[in-house]
Amino acid sequence: MDAELYSSTLRDGAWVNLSDRAKWTLSGGDRVRYLNGQVTQDVRLAKAEAALHACVTNAKGRMEGDVFLHATADCLWLDAAPGLREPLGMRLERYIIADDAVLDDVSTAWQLWHWIAGELPSAAEPGVELGKEARKLMAQRFGRRGYDVWLPTELALEHGSRVLSAEQAEIFRILQRVPAWPAEIHAEAFPQEAGLEKSCMSFTKGCYIGQEVLSRIKTTGKMPRELIAWEKLEPTGPVVVGSKLHLEDREIGQITSAALHPLTQRWVGLAYLRQGGATLDSVLRLGDALPSVGSQIKISAFLNQ
């Protein structure tokens, strides 16, 4: 992603084709009650006009995936990262026993497009032709307001606007400090570690799998790690995902996502740090604990605050 494309996306907006994401419908009279016991968000709030972001956790409170969900008159609709199609589908169906609920995989039957709204008022609602079979709903996927368009695979979206490639969309995600599966959202992480408490969790809806552990984290504020945004101080050399982070001689974290900022030409990204291991604006060393030229990053934000 070059500077012109990044600036124009912020200013004018852009489309992202998310049709490769896993997609399901959940139907049946018990669908809301059942799903409410499986995800961190209050499914009773789901509606046709906007998507809810939620996490799916195990009994230990660790994440098995995250989903965007919305409701129509007769079913709930969910989508998740492409790599979660089989494992998350099995997880969501596992506890359907005596419930009136049916989970169907509709990944290949539907396209999913997302509009990242720009800063200009005219960029919020681009003109698109939608047939009666398509659905449009508000959704925030890249740290900015926007909306999703669902439409059957055989139809075409006549958008006439710029479309970001998968690589460009991934860079934009990192620049917007948005955690994603499997970089920051994965089987070893709690939702709060990834900064998802405010956007993905309800603490008033009642019980769900993992709720007891996550409520304890909410009460105590204690968790193993926390997600940060960082910037490399020296405009030299790429930053490798997986690189260890040290404060003085102590290893305290690891890089999870990295991208070259098209405006500053400095590497930026996300990383997990041991909770309390550093403070805002702390300078950390990449790689080993020994000083080396061009290997320092500065913490620019804690994303769970």
* Residue spans per domain, the chain: 3-175, 224-302
H-run or E-run covering 112: strand 110-116
**pLDDT at residue number 305:** 76
What is the sign of the dihedral through the CA atoms of 230, 145, 53 and 65?
A: negative
Q: What global pTM score does this model have?
A: 0.94
Cα–Cα distance, 230 to 298 (Å, whole number): 6
Nearest C-alpha neighbor of 191 from the set 225, 143, 140: 225
Buried (b) or exposed (e) across 141-180, using 16+ Cβ within 10 A? Answer: bbebebbbbbbeeeeebebeeeebeeebbbbbbbbebbbb
Q: What is the pLDDT of residue 171?
A: 98
- Tell whether domain 3-175 is in CATH 3.30.1360.120: yes
Q: Which residues face 270 on adjacent strands?
A: 229, 257
Length of the chain: 305
pLDDT (tens digit, 9 = 90+) per residue, 107-161? Answer: 999 999 999 999 876 555 665 667 678 899 999 999 999 999 999 999 888 777 7
**Cβ neighbours of 74 (radius 10 Å):** 9
Nearest residue to 232 (alpha-carbon basis) of 183, 303, 297, 301: 297
> What does the pLDDT read at residue 222?
96
Residues 6+ apart with CB under 8 A from 3: 262, 263
Residue 253 parent element (H or E): strand 250-260
The reported pLDDT for the residue numbered 141 is 97
Q: Which of 104, 227, 240, 248 is nearest to 177 (CA)?
A: 227
How many angstroms separate the first and last alpha carbons of the chain? 29
Which positions ≥6 away from 108 have C-beta within 8 Å?
153
Calpha distance 183→270 (Å, rounded):
9
Q: Please tell me the distance from the alpha carbon of residue 117 to that of residue 138, in angstroms, as a whole number.
A: 10
Buried b (16+ CB within 10 A) or exposed e, 228-241: bbbebeeeeeebee
In CATH terms, the fold of domain 224-302 is Elongation Factor Tu (Ef-tu); domain 3 (2.40.30)
Task: Flag residues of the chain having pLDDT under 50.
Answer: none
CA–CA distance, 221 with 80 (Å, rounded to integer): 28
Say if residues 162 and 15 touch (Cβ distance below 8 Å): yes
